[in-house]
Structure 1
Amino acid sequence: MSRDINTEALSVARHWLGTPYRHQGATRGAGCDCLGLIRGIWRSLYGSEPESVPPYTRDWAERGTEERLWRAALRHMQPVQHAAPGQVILFRMHGGAVAKHLGLQSSASRFIHAYSGHGVVESALTPAWQRRIVARFAFPAE
């Protein structure tokens, strides 16, 4: 029987709902940011993270033009064109800025993400959020 990574990723993400927001955090229940949520899902799926994450400031994306988050996703995940639950979504929060927010598609119209001031929540994928999507990724099948 083959493993359905997308279904597993979504199930794991749902267990993170309610985790408080904590910059650079990656611990379910204790705190995480958007990257920490994806890191936690990865650890649940594969046991360990594929690379260490260097410390980063809250404004890391505002001070440069390097697409670090996008490049890291490309190193470890499969880019996809069509949306499906369990896929990672990468967002560009402002035109001309680097992509700096991540979430996990939970349905055709919703996604789970760690959001400053809210923690890990499931939000509507409104037109405003949809306009910010720059890439989608699938977790590797192993």
Structure 2
Amino acid sequence: MTQGERIAAAAKKWLGTPYANNSMAKGYGVDCAHLLLGTLIDAGLLQEEDMIIEYYPNEWHLHRSEERFIENIEKVAYEVDNPQIGDFLLYQYGRTISHGAILVDKDTVIHAFVDLGVIMSKTDDILFYDNRGRHRLRRIYRFKGGE
């Protein structure tokens, strides 16, 4: 099993977990940033202490311009152009990139979304478009660990 397949398999085990801001408890509550971290931990690629996500208000992306999501993801991943299974797709909601998802097959992601919890969505789902029909995907990252 490749590293990406391990990440995708670990992400599937989080499906159905309710959404809870600043949380990482499989089956009880998680947000999209902590889902990425929890998936890496479950895949055996990271230890929890390897990446600490500082507290952030639920709507920080509406009022701030700092790229907090990017700062965190770049601690453990690097940017790529062509997505592969297990990569992290980052989306802009509000002023900054503020949502992450895990690619589990060529056109499907797993992500934690407010009011929906951890769900599986097609990459062309309406959730990933703004009110003008523009796709919100801004960057793609791959975990730095070796294959």
Whether these two folds match at TM > 0.5 is yes
SS of residue matched to 1:16: coil
Counterpart of 1:7 in structure 2 is 5
Conservation of the 8 A alpha-carbon contact between 1:7 and 1:85: yes
Within the candidate set 110, 135, 140, 1:136 is matched to: 140
Using the aligned pairs only, state the percent identity: 23
Q: Is there any run of 5+ residues in structure 1 with no aligned partner, and where?
A: none
After superposition, what is the alpha-carbon deviation per residue over 1:5-24, rounded to whole angstroms, capped at 9, x for unaligned? Answer: 10100000000001111111
Q: Distance in 1 between matches of 2:29 and 2:2?
A: 27
Amino acid at match of 1:84: Q
The answer to whether residue 58 in structure 2 is matched with residue 58 in structure 1 is yes
State the superposition RMSD in angstroms: 1.7
Q: Distance in 1 between matches of 2:113 and 2:59?
A: 15
Counterpart of 2:132 in structure 1 is none
- Change in Cα spacing, 1:10 to 1:49, as seen in structure 2 (3 Å) is farther
Conservation of the 8 A alpha-carbon contact between 1:111 and 1:123: yes
The answer to whether residue 118 in structure 2 is matched with residue 82 in structure 1 is no
Q: Distance in 1 between matches of 2:124 and 2:51?
A: 32
Q: Distance in 1 between matches of 2:125 and 2:84?
A: 17
* 1:59 positional shift: 1.0
Q: Is there any run of 5+ residues in structure 2 with no aligned partner, and where?
A: 130-134
The runs of at least 4 consecutive aligned structure 1 residues that moved more than 6 Å come to none
* 1:75 positional shift: 2.5
SS of residue matched to 1:43: helix
> Structure 1 residues 40-49 or 64-73, which shifts more?
40-49
SS of residue matched to 2:75: helix
Length, aligned pairs only: 138
Q: Distance in 2 between matches of 1:121 and 1:98?
A: 22
Q: Distance in 2 between matches of 1:75 and 1:37?
A: 15
Q: Distance in 1 between matches of 2:98 and 2:27?
A: 23
* 1:127 positional shift: 6.5
**With structure 1 as the length reference, what TM-score do the two structures score?**
0.89
Structure 1 or 2: more helix by fraction: 1
SS of residue matched to 1:20: coil
